[in-house]
Amino acid sequence: MKWHLVLENWDKFIEGVWISLHLTALALAIGFLLALPMALAMYRGSRAAPFARGFVYVFRGTPLLVQTYLIYYGLSQFEWVRGGPWWLILREAWWCALIAFSLNSAAYQAEILRGAFATTPRGEIEGGKALGLSERLVTWMVLLPSSLRRALPQYGNETVFMLHGSVVASVITIQDILGAGRWLNARYYVVYEGLIAAALLYMVITFALVGVFRLIERRYLRHLAPPKDDAADAKPAPKGMLATAMR
Amino acid sequence: MQALIEYAPLLAEGTGVTVALAVLSLALATALGALGAAAKLSGMLAADWTARGYTTLVRGVPDLVLILLIYFGGQRLVNTVGGALGFEYIEISAFWAGVFAIGFIYGAYLTETFRGAYQSVPKGQREAGFALGLSRGAILWNVQIPQLVRFALSGYANVWMVLVKSTAVVSVIGLADLVGIADKAGKSTRQTFTFFLAVLLVYLAITAVSEFLFARAEKRANRGMVR
C-alpha cells in the first residue's frame, strides 16, 4: 500500500471535502426553501397540495442518480435549452448537480416537515388562536418553531443522506471527495488507496455531523430529556439519529 | 418516441437486470441481516463488536464508494489470493460486484430491523415454548419467527424501496441495467431526456407494485391480530 500518495496529494482531498460539504449544505438550504411552502400546502390541504404530493412522490420514488442524469444529460436534448441564456448554467456539471440535489432534498424535507406539522399538538395551535394571533402569526410563531424542533432528528438523517448522495456529483465529473479518490487511483494506477482515503473521509464527516446534531438536539429537545436528578440511572434519551437512519 | 419504441426490448432487458440485481441483493442482505442481528443478540462480546463495526462502517460510507471498493478492490484481492493458490485470473462481473456491495450495505440496515423485531416479540412466548418442552430451534422457527415477521415487515419494505433505488448506482461500474442501457441509448439517439424520463417512470412503477405487494403481505402477517 502506498499511503504516502494520499499524503502527498492531501490538497486534492481537502478541495474534495470543501466541494462535497459546500454542495451538500447549499442543496439542503435551497431544499428547505422549496420544501416549506410544499409542506404547508400539504398540511393545509390547499389547492397546491396535489402538486406538492406529486412532486414528493416522483422525487422520493426515483434514484438521485437518474434525476441528476435527467438534468445534466437530458436537458441538452432540447434546442431551446441550448439556445437560451440559462444554458450558461445548465451546461455546468456543478449547477446541474446542485439543482438535482436541491430538488431531491426538497422532496424529502417536504415529507419530514409535513409529518412534523401533522403531529403538532392541537392545543398549541388553539392556544395561539385564543391569544388572537392571525393565522400567519400562528404559523410563524407556533407551528414552525414547534415542528422544526420535532423534525430535528430526521433532519440529522437527511443531512447525512444528502452528504452520501452527493457522491453522484463525482459521476458527472465533479471533483468531490470521491472524485479526488478516483483521480488518485487513476493517476498512480493503484486500486485501494484513493477509495479507502475517500471512505475514511466520508466516515469522519458523517460521525462529526451525527455528533453536531446530537448537540443541537440536546439544546433544543431539552424538554424531552430525562430529569436531571435521576439522570444517573435513567436510560439515555431516545436516539433519533441513525436509529432510523435511512430513507 | 420512435426511438423509445425501437429500444423497448433492450430497456425491458435492462429492467430485468435491475430487478434481478435488487432481488439477489435483498436475499444476501436478508442473510447478512439475520446473521448480524444474531451476533448482536448473542451476548458474545466478539460477535457483538464485529456486528457493530459492520453497521458503523456501512452507515458512515456512501454506497457508491463501497461499490467501487468492492468492484475494483475486490477484484484485486480475489486475484492476489487466487494467484497465490494457483488459480487463473478470476473476473468479477459488475453484476456480482453490485449484488455483493448492495447486499452488504443493506444487510447492515436489516441487522437493526431484525434485532428490533426480535426484541418486540414478548418474552413470554419463548418461555411458553420452553414450558412445553420445545427445543430451541423449534421455538425460534415455530414461535418467534412467525411473530417477528409482523414487526419486521414495515422496516423490511422500507429497506427494499431504498435498495431498489440504490441499484441505479451500479451502472457507474458499467452494468447494463436499466440506467446503463438508457444512458447508452439516449446518447446514441441524442434523446437523453426521453430515455431518462422513461427510466424514472419504470422506477416509479416498480415502487408502486412493491407498495401494493407489501400492503398485502402486511395484511397477511397481521391476519391473527385484532385492530
Chain A's closest residue to B209, CA to CA, is: A61
DSSP state of A238: P
Range of A26-30, A226-230, B123-127, B133-137 with top mean pLDDT: A26-30
Which positions of chain B have pLDDT values less than 70?
226-227
Local confidence band at A230 (pLDDT 50, 70, 90 cut-offs): low
One-letter amino acid identity for B189?
T
Contact B196 A70 (CB under 8 A): yes
* B109 and chain A in contact, CB less than 8 A: yes
Distance from the Cα of A28 to chain B's closest Cα (Å) equals: 17
Mean pLDDT computed over every residue of chain A: 88
Spatial distance between the Cα atoms of A44 and A139, rounded to a whole number of angstroms: 11
Q: What is the 3-state composition of chain B as percent helix, strand, coil, each rounded to the nearest 5?
A: 85, 0, 15
Scanning B166-225 for CB atoms below 8 A from A yields 166-169, 171-172, 179, 183, 186-187, 190-194, 196-197, 199-200, 203-204, 207-208
**Contacts by residues A178-184 (CB-CB < 8 Å, ≥ 24 positions apart):** A178/A16, A178/A202, A178/B62, A178/B64, A178/B65, A178/B68, A179/A16, A179/A19, A180/A9, A180/A12, A180/A13, A180/A15, A180/A16, A181/A13, A181/A16, A181/B65, A182/B68, A183/A12, A184/A5, A184/A6, A184/A9, A184/A12
Q: In the structure grid, which three cell numbers stand for residue B37, read together?
A: 442481528
Local confidence band at A241 (pLDDT 50, 70, 90 cut-offs): very low
**pLDDT: is A246 or A138 the higher one?**
A138
- The residue to which cell 429500444 is assigned: B7
Per the CB < 8 A criterion, the answer to whether A216 and A126 are in contact is: no
Contact B64 A171 (CB under 8 A): yes
CA distances from B20 to A63, B1, B15, B169 (A): 17, 27, 8, 15
Element (H, E) at B27: helix B8-41
pLDDT in tens, B86-137: 787 778 889 999 999 999 999 999 999 999 999 888 889 989 999 999 998 8
Percent of all residues in chain B with a pLDDT value above 70, rounded to a whole number? 99
CA distances from B100 to A26, A69, A78, A164, B90 (A): 33, 25, 39, 19, 16
Chain length of chain B: 227
| Interface test mutation site (partner A, options B56, B61, B181, B201, max chain A beta carbons within 10 A) | B61
Q: What is the mean pLDDT of residues A203-228?
A: 88
Spatial distance between the Cα atoms of B11 and B185, rounded to a whole number of angstroms: 9
Residue A236 in this model has a pLDDT that exceeds 80: no
Q: What is the pLDDT of residue A65?
A: 95
Residue A240 in this model has a pLDDT that exceeds 50: no
* A145 and chain B in contact, CB less than 8 A: no
pLDDT in tens, A42-90: 999 999 999 999 999 999 999 999 999 999 998 888 888 788 888 888 8
Contact B73 A78 (CB under 8 A): no
Q: What is the pLDDT of residue A79?
A: 81
